[in-house]
Amino acid sequence: MVRSISILGCTGSIGRQTAAVAEHTGIRVAALTANRKIDLLEQQARKLKPAFVAVYDEAAAKQFKIAVADTDIRVGSGMEGLIEAATLDDSDCVVTAVSGAVGLRPTLAAIDAKKRIALANKETLVCAGDLVMARAKEKGAEIVPVDSEHSAIFQCLMGRGAGELRRILLTGSGGPFRGKKREELEGVTPEQAVAHPNWSMGAKISVDSSTLMNKGLEFVEAMHLFGVRPEDITVVIHPQSVIHSMVELVDGTVIAQLGVPDMGLPIQLALTYPERLPSMFAHLDFWKLRDLSFAEPDLVNFPCLRLAMDCARRGGTAPCAMSAANEVAVHKFLRRELGYNRIYDAAAGAVEAVGVTAADDLDTILAADEAARAFVREKF
Ligand code: MG
């Protein structure tokens, strides 16, 4: 297991849970980064005592530096600060819990520095999966997934040979609007969209879970992480979120990973792997599980999943453009500037508007990301 970590994006939902797991397991926090929530960041920094803290927003970084002037904490800012946190000598593992494409450069820098990546930033693999996985292989950096589904698949594949896997069964709850028709979702409010039945998550990912875009992003992520083709992944709707995903082996055996729906579990495993430690989380109570049910995803009324699967097949910059456009559209929806069903229109429109090219280098990827964002800002 790792001795010390850098948490990129420590004030978000995953970041806060990672800090709690680190405290519970006695793993030292070497560095923290945040965008601009400096009040919470200051509380975390005083408690966890990292040697280095980076604040992405320059103005907030200046304020933060004054706030912690009485401590020994070194303060950095901007992309340079994030990269320093990701490559700190004193840290063995980088938890990438920032949201969006801002996580790309620090993750690549951490790979170059041969750190373990506890990957919680979906965009990293959705946008730059080929690049990141090739670089990790070349440098010998470990990537351990934090997303519950990918952690489950990772656990189901532990100790298996390359030829044993037949397909991945990627499970998803179906979100709060499962069973609804697209017309019925026209007037959905941000409050309704973020109220997820099983998981407690940040606002952006909660909206993505409700549109099934989150499952689509996970589909792309799984392809890269496990080196499989789109046709090797089947999405299975499992409303109880007790099974966190499964693998089917060539002989027909299915292996599932089960647990309570708490992100703390995959976070802890990403840090302690290959060891396991007792956790502070609830255990599964089989007498309270009434039933486990399964259904096919509804790709007609939840077209974001269909779009993501199409983009996965097209490859290149398609998933990146889709994800970037979706991110801008979701934030517009959360600010009540865009209707719920327009999120799909924005993501699908951006893929066509930006066009699809090979995604072999970071500049091409970041350009596609920016073009898709600009498209949604201007047209929606
Ligand atoms: Mg997930």
How would you label 272-294 residue by residue, b for 16+ Cβ within 10 Å and e otherwise?
bbeeeeebeeeeeeeeeeeeeee
pLDDT score recorded for residue 352: 97
CA of 149 to the centre of ligand 1 (A): 5
Q: What is the pTM of this model?
A: 0.95
The confidence band for 100, taking pLDDT boundaries of 50, 70 and 90, is confident
Asked if residue 197 has pLDDT above 80, the reply is no
The answer on pLDDT for 236 being more than 90 is yes
Q: How many whole angstroms from 70 Cα to the centroid of ligand 1?
A: 40
DSSP annotation string for 260-290? -S-THHHHHHHHHTTS----SSPPP-TTT--
Residue 224 banded pLDDT, cuts 50, 70, 90 = very high
CA distance 161 to 324: 35
d(CA 215, ligand 1 centre) in Å: 7
The rounded Å distance from CA 148 to ligand 1 centre is 5
Look at residue 196 and tell me whether its pLDDT is greater than 80: no
The Å distance, Cα 255 to ligand 1 centre, comes to 18
Phi and psi at residue 46, to the nearest 5°: -70, -30
Average pLDDT over residues 268-289: 94
Query: In this prediction, what percent of the chain has a pLDDT beyond 70?
Result: 100
> What average pLDDT does this structure show over 278-303?
94
268 CA distance to ligand 1 centroid (A)? 15
Q: 68 C-alpha vs ligand 1 centroid, how far in Å?
A: 35
List the Cα angle 352/236/280 in 5-degree steps.
110
Q: Which residues pair with 258 in a beta bridge?
A: 243
Nearest to 96 by CA among 36, 25, 146: 146
Ligand 1 center to residue 174 CA distance, Å?
11
Domain locations in the chain as residue ranges: 4-145, 150-314
Cα 240 to middle of ligand 1, angstroms: 14
* pLDDT above 80 (res 72): yes
Summarize the confidence of residues 217-239 as an average pLDDT.
97
Q: Which segment of 41-55, 199-213, 214-228, 316-330 scores lowest on mean pLDDT?
A: 199-213
Per-residue pLDDT, 201? 76
* pLDDT value for 379: 97
Q: Coil, helix or strand for 331?
A: helix
Question: What pLDDT does 162 receive?
Answer: 83
**Å from CA of 99 to ligand 1 middle:** 14
Q: Tens digit of pLDDT for each residue in 157-166? A: 999 988 999 9
| Ligand 1 centroid from CA 221, angstroms | 10
Using the mean position of ligand 1's atoms as its centre, give its distance from the Cα of residue 266 in Å.
10
Helix (H) or strand (E) holding 323: helix 318-334
Distance 335 CA to ligand 1 centre (A): 24
Ligand 1 centroid distance, CA of 122 (Å): 9
Q: Cβ atoms within 10 A of the Cβ of 17, count?
A: 22
Q: Residue 337: what pLDDT?
A: 97
Domain at 4-145, CATH homologous superfamily: NAD(P)-binding Rossmann-like Domain (3.40.50.720)
